[in-house]
Amino acid sequence: MNRPLVAILSGAGISTDSGIPDYRGPNGLWRRDPEAEKLVTYAYYMGDPEIRRRSWQMRRKNGALRAEPNAAHRAVAALERAGVPVRVLTQNVDGLHQLAGMPARKVLELHGTARSFVCTECHARGPMEDAIARVEAGEDDPACLRCGGVLKSATVFFGERLDPVVLGEAVAISKACQVFVAVGSSLQVQPAAGLAGVAGDHGARLIIVNAEPTPYDDRADEVVREPIGTALPELLSGLTV
């Protein structure tokens, strides 16, 4: 029996149970501190050493690198282990899908990863822990050890393009899947949000699991407003039969 290809687009809401705040929800980071958006805006970051200093302190203090996968992440990995063809298209940068057991080759990180740093000049990369250790040792704005360039997290900042190869793969999966589950995403940030529309246009069953209304609710075959930590495992367990 051929099992349907399931694409899961995950947004910040899937990781809130792991202690990582979302951005646009009622208690989201951007609502609590609009200035925080500057810390991940490329033009501000590259043009202002004080913004970079604050960005590094934010990375040092937040608990994203210490977060553990929750029931929703584990449910996605369990679906894949059950033999269902699964591809994760994630807007998150926390790496929790992989920590939960999803093979890295089946996870497309649309907005990059906070678990690595990258040099804006020579594109050298390394573990974020190494850069954070330098900040904790007293460096306000650690420079690239290879070329002296500005370092940033290997995430897509506001003002940067998504990796066209990764985005192209995500579009192809959205076109090919039979089931598309958008979970914990406001579906407001393009082009990632548009993947739900691509899937719907190509005949996929569109399911949206999110606490707040999204622009794609009226196109969905099913909208779930229940808490993600309980709703997603129940929903995905139904796809294994």
Domain span at 30: 22-62+115-155
Q: Walk along the chain (241 residues) in steps of 10 and give the mean pLDDT of each run.
A: 88 92 56 74 96 93 85 97 97 96 97 96 96 96 97 95 96 98 93 95 97 95 96 91 55
Domain co-membership, 85 together with 204 = yes
- Which residue, 155, 179, 213, sits at the end of a domain? 155
Domain co-membership, 34 together with 13 = no
pTM of the model: 0.90
pLDDT of residue 61: 85
Q: How many domains does the chain have?
A: 2
- CATH number reported for the structural domain that contains residue 26 in this entry: 3.30.1600.10
- Per DSSP, the three-state class of 105 is helix
Domain co-membership, 191 together with 235 = yes
Domain co-membership, 13 together with 73 = yes
Domain co-membership, 140 together with 200 = no
Where does the chain show beta strands of DSSP type E? 6-10, 86-90, 107-109, 112-119, 125-127, 151-155, 179-183, 205-209, 222-224
Domain co-membership, 178 together with 102 = yes
Domain co-membership, 131 together with 88 = no
Question: Out of 97, 111, 123, 202, which one is annotated catalytic?
Answer: 111
pLDDT of residue 25: 52
Cβ atoms 195, 91 nearer than 8 A: no
Domain co-membership, 16 together with 125 = no
- CATH number reported for the structural domain that contains residue 186 in this entry: 3.40.50.1220
- 111 counts as catalytic: yes
pLDDT of residue 32: 58
Domain co-membership, 236 together with 201 = yes
Q: What is the separation, in whole angstroms, between the first and last Cα of the chain?
A: 11
Domain co-membership, 236 together with 126 = no
pLDDT of residue 241: 55
- Which residue, 131, 155, 179, sits at the end of a domain? 155
pLDDT of residue 128: 96
Domain co-membership, 80 together with 198 = yes
pLDDT of residue 20: 84
pLDDT of residue 35: 72
Domain co-membership, 192 together with 132 = no
